[in-house]
């Protein structure tokens, strides 16, 4: 394999936090959609394995709202059951009827208690029913206190809201070539002091064993004052690059993955935000360059950033042979 014919002289980075033994740790390192590491944990019981708050924060909005609604219905079914067992006579004002009708009445009484709306048409009489409703109203308020916290936690959670180009390119650059990709903020947030790090993972045979190696890629510009427009990240493929003398087949064989880590300061949240992304070999276009994605709006004296064009590129001939066979 191509990767065995060459020697990569540059120093690999031991600080990535991923395992070096390819037997034990293989495949894509980052999940492309979520940016989280492709690691499964064993040996922790379910209760400890998840931070339920992290889970609640990461849950899609619709699922989160449905979860709340389900919890609301289940809690009320539970309390309705208790009131029903205590006996419908302990709830004054119930319009009695069939079993179903009676259960429906106590269910609605439960909901009116849990939400503290307490119309009062139905009201508890006697120690048992009163005690349960006293506890339910307390539980209701605490539940909504919790929901308040979750809502706030969800929407105040600082996120970078960055879109990445679908492909990375091997593009012409100063008489040679460079690995490039670009990103742009897609919401009305304001990022400053953005900083990007790229770590290139590859599998190399060392002493007859497949090893994972990680290389920090030098970037033309790795810090930017304000991330107002799109930002094209450029890694020049020169002698100091682990991709030097690689061709497309080498990239595929070495199963390279460019691990992207972006850190910035969000000026609305006043907080640091981070985002991860990754490109594997098959997502890298050999010989292409990005088309410009912004232009001036003359009337409005503003710059237009067209996010539809984020991944727009044109195929080009590389000026010099990047990889010698």
Q: Which two tokens stand for residue 147?
A: 């929901």
Using CB under 8 A as the criterion, what x/- string covers residues 231-270 for binding its own copies? x-----------------------------x---x-xxxx
CA torsion angle 203 205 210 212 (round to 10): -30
Q: Which stretch binds its own copies (CB under 8 A): 48-56, 174-182, 236-244, 278-286?
A: 48-56
Backbone angles phi, psi at 251, to 5 degrees: -60, -45
Q: Which is nearer to its own copies, 33 or 225 (CB)?
A: 225
Q: Give the footprint of its own copies on residues 145-164 (CB under 8 A).
A: 145-149, 151-153, 155-159, 161
Site for its own copies in 81-140 (CB under 8 A): 92, 95, 104, 108, 111-113, 115-125, 127, 130-131, 133-134, 137-138, 140
Q: How far is CA 43 from the centre of its chain?
A: 25
Q: Which of residues 60-79 bind its own copies (CB under 8 A)?
A: 68-69, 72, 76
**Cα three-residue angle 122-124-125, rounded to 5 degrees:** 120
Give me the residue label for tokens 């009305």: 188
Q: How far apart are CA 35 and CA 32, in angstroms?
A: 5
Least CB distance to its own copies at residue 146 (A): 5
Q: Rule CB under 8 A: is residue 228 a binding residue for its own copies?
A: yes
Looking at the Cβ atoms of 130 and 321, the one nearer to its own copies is 130
Q: Smallest distance, Å, CB 83 to its own copies?
A: 14
Task: For residue 226, count other CB atoms closer than 10 A to its CB.
Answer: 13
Q: Which residue stretch of 144-152, 239-247, 250-258, 279-287 sits at the interface with its own copies (rule: CB under 8 A)?
A: 144-152
Distances (CA, A) of 51 to 21, 44, 46, 155: 29, 12, 10, 18
- Contacts with its own copies by CB under 8 A: the residue count is 126
Stretch touching its own copies by CB under 8 A, among 1-9, 166-174, 228-236, 313-321:
228-236
Distance of closest approach, residue 108 Cβ to its own copies, in angstroms:
4
Per-position DSSP letters for 111-167, written without gaps between them: HHHHTT---SSSEE-SHHHHHHHHHHHHHHHHHHHHHHHHHHHHHT-----EEE-S-
Q: Which residue has the tokens 């010698």?
A: 324
Residues 163-192 touching its own copies, rule: CB under 8 A, are: 186-190, 192
């Amino acid at each position: 394999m191509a990767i065995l014919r060459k020697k990569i002289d540059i120093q690999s980075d031991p600080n990535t936090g991923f395992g070096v033994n390819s037997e034990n740790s293989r495949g894509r390192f980052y999940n492309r959609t979520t940016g989280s590491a492709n690691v499964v944990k064993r040996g922790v019981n379910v209760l400890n394995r998840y931070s339920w708050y992290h889970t609640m924060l990461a849950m899609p909005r619709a699922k989160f709202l449905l979860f709340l609604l389900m919890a609301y219905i289940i809690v009320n079914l539970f309390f309705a059951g208790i009131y029903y067992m205590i006996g419908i006579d302990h709830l004054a004002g119930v319009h009695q009827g069939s079993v179903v009708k009676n259960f429906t009445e106590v269910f609605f009484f439960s909901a009116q208690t849990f939400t503290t709306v307490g119309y009062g048409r139905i009201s508890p009489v006697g120690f048992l029913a009163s005690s349960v409703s006293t506890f339910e109203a307390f539980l209701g308020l605490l539940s909504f206190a919790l929901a308040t916290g979750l809502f706030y936690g969800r929407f105040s959670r600082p996120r970078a809201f960055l879109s990445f180009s679908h492909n990375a390119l091997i593009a012409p650059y100063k008489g040679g070539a460079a690995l490039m990709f670009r990103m742009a903020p897609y919401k009305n947030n304001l990022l400053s002091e953005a900083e990007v790090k790229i770590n290139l993972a590859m599998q190399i045979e060392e002493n007859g064993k497949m090893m994972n190696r990680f290389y920090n890629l030098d970037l033309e510009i790795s810090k930017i004052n304000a991330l107002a427009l799109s930002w094209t990240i450029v890694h020049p493929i020169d002698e100091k690059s682990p991709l030097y003398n690689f061709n497309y087949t080498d990239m595929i064989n070495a199963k390279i993955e460019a691990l992207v880590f972006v850190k910035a300061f969000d000026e609305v949240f006043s907080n640091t935000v981070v985002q991860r992304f990754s490109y594997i070999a098959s997502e890298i276009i050999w010989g292409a360059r990005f088309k410009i994605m912004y232009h001036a709006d003359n009337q409005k004296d503003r710059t237009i950033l067209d996010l539809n064009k984020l991944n727009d590129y044109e195929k080009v001939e590389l000026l010099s042979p990047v990889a010698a066979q």
